[in-house]
Amino acid sequence: MNLAFPPHPIVTLPIAGSAQRFPVRRVFCVGRNYADHAREMGALDQADGREPPFFFTKPGDAVVGGEGELNIAYPPVTKNLHHEVEMVVALGAGGANIPVASANALIFGYAVGLDLTRRDIQAKAKEKGHPWDMGKGFDQSAVAGVICPVATCGHPATGRIWLTVNGEMRQQGDLSAMMWKVADIIANLSTMVRLEAGDLIYTGTPAGVGPVVPGDLLEGGVDGVGTLRARIV
């Protein structure tokens, strides 16, 4: 193949207990998958379970992750950058129209993630009925920690998910409060797009989302999966 210029390097994430790395393909996110967060965002129909899950995407190269403290650049054209801690599903296989009973077999592992959001840009887009892309899919907007393989952590369905900012607890919930469970998310998403190995799925955030500014230290975790540490610079 004669390329006009060298392709960009593929984004990869570390895997706990392995020298191998996980190659990222696409990034999908579930919107408002915890009732308490749906309520704080004013989405009462979603909170009451009267609507199916909805999804948005981020570019694969928006992912930044690894071990230790990650430096995340405060993005341009926003004055209201918000944190959203989430459990991330990393797929090791794919398919279309996947039955719920078969969905977990596609999962390679799990990680702690941050869905960073330019809330002011997102709000303006909502007001005008425009897409959210620039509120959600900017550079370094998908933060992820080390991937814990299923062989190590199993398939966590309960356990604390939490985030502190400068040592102050901001978000705290339990995976059991997800309205759409992981297998349901995979099955539903696979009816709309064909999933493949390397896909990441951010599974939603509990209540307590809020702003961060340069210098803030974000520390989060999911019980049984791992932790994440990131500084806004």
pLDDT, the chain, mean: 94
Domain-embedded: residue 152: yes
Residue 137: predicted pLDDT: 97
pLDDT tens digits along 108-125? 999 999 999 999 999 999
Residue 53: predicted pLDDT: 78
Residue 52: predicted pLDDT: 77
Domain-embedded: residue 82: yes
Residue 47: predicted pLDDT: 58
Domain-embedded: residue 1: no
CATH number for the domain harbouring residue 96: 3.90.850.10
Domain-embedded: residue 4: no
Let me know: does 58 contact 29? Beta carbons within 8 Å: yes
Domain tally, the chain? 1
Beta bridge partners of 227: 221
CA atoms within 13 A on the CB side of 136: 22
Residue 46: predicted pLDDT: 63
Residue 207: predicted pLDDT: 87
Per the structure, the complete domain to which residue 67 belongs is given by 12-232
| Low-confidence stretches of the chain (pLDDT beneath 50) | none
Residue 44: predicted pLDDT: 56
Residue 35: predicted pLDDT: 73
Residue 50: predicted pLDDT: 57
